[in-house]
Structure formats: C-alpha cells, structure tokens
Copies of this chain bind each other. A is one copy, B any other.
Amino acid sequence: MGNHTLELFKELGISPSHTRMMIYDFLSENKNHPTVDEIYQALNQFLPTLSKTTVYNVLNLLIKNDLVEAINTSDNEKRYELKIDDHSHFTCIECGTIFDIPRVETTYDKSKLPQFNIVHEQVNLLGVCNSCMKK
C-alpha cells in the first residue's frame, strides 16, 4: 500500500515525504470523509510533532494534484476523501454523516446547456440513516 503511494507520488512529481504518505494512506484506509482535526488526532500518535498546518498544507497539495477532494459540509467544516472511485454521497440530515453510495446516474441534455462546459457532476442524496431512524 505504501509502495503504491510512493510510486504514485513520484509519477506526479510530489516529493514522497513520510508525513505526506501517512496522510494519503490514512485517507486511503479511512473512507469516512474525515475532517482535518480527525486526521490530525489520528496521526498525531505516530507523528508526535505533527501540526494541523501541515495537515492543511498536505491536503491542499493533494487537492492541487487531483488526488483528494474536499466536501463542503453544512457545519462550516470541510471533509476530505480520495478522488479515486466514481461514487455519489448520501448525507444523513440528523447526524451529518456522509456515506459513499454507488454512483447515481443522471439524465440531462447537454445540448440544452450550451453555455456551460460540463466536466464533472456531483449527486448527493439526503435523508435519514439507519441508526438515526432507530432513535
């Protein structure tokens, strides 16, 4: 896994520092859209001198290189995820958790939107998740 990350970074010309690979691998292993604080808390055990600034620096670097995507949440806090598989999101309006779901297909006529050069689409379903429904 780390080996794959190493090669990926080299291909993109990103110097593969320990911290950068740790953050990338963390996102690769934790598909729950963590916040900066959650990434920081988790990695601080292994990198005792880690700072949130570095987490921000690395995430923004990975975003520039199209490896990571930021999700803007309603509570003014961004969440981050690897930009690898094409999927959609379900957001629970009770607890705010974001779930990955299989890609939701859309149907629209591009010729009716000639004023836009559409390159990407996001679908977010909203509702109540299972554990919140039980409450």
Cβ of A16 < 8 Å from any Cβ of B? Answer: no
When chains A and B are docked, how far (Å) is the Cα of A118 from the Cα of B92? 9
Across the interface, do B104 and A107 meet the contact criterion of CB distance under 8 Å? yes
Cβ of A3 < 8 Å from any Cβ of B? Answer: no
When chains A and B are docked, how far (Å) is the Cα of A74 from the Cα of B99? 20
1/0 per position for A100-135, CB-CB distance to B under 8 A?
011011111000110111111111111111100100
1/0 per position for A49-71, CB-CB distance to B under 8 A?
00000000000000000000010
Interface residues, chain A, CB within 8 Å of chain B? 70, 72-74, 76, 78, 88, 90, 92-93, 99, 101-102, 104-108, 112-113, 115-130, 133
